[in-house]
Amino acid sequence: MPALLTASCERPVRFSETDPLGIVWHGNYIKYFEDSREVFGEKYGLEYLTMYENGFSAPLVDMRCSWRSPLHYRDIFISEITFVPCEAAKIIFTYRVMNKALGTLCASGESTQVFMNKNGELLFTIPDFFQEWKKKNQV
Partner 1 sequence: MELIEKLKTEIISALNLEDIKPEDIDPAAPLFGSGLNLDSVDALELIVILEKNYGIKLVNAEEGKQIFYSLNSMAEYIKKHSSHA
How many amino acids of this chain bind partner 1 (CB under 8 A)? 12
Residue 88 makes contact with partner 1 by CB under 8 A = yes
Separation CA 92–CA 111 (nearest Å): 6
Does residue 76 bind partner 1 (CB under 8 A)? no
Instruction: By CB under 8 A, name the one of 15, 118, 124, 128 that touches partner 1.
Output: 124
Q: Site mask, partner 1, residues 5-44, x = CB under 8 A?
A: ----------------------------------------
List 21, 121, 128, 135, residue binding partner 1 (CB under 8 A): 121
Task: Specify the pairing of strand 90-99 against strand 6-12.
Answer: unpaired
Which position among 20, 21, 87, 101 is part of the footprint of partner 1 (CB under 8 A)?
87
Smaller CB separation from partner 1, 15 or 124: 124
Site residues, partner 1 (CB under 8 A): 61-62, 87-90, 112, 114, 121-122, 124-125
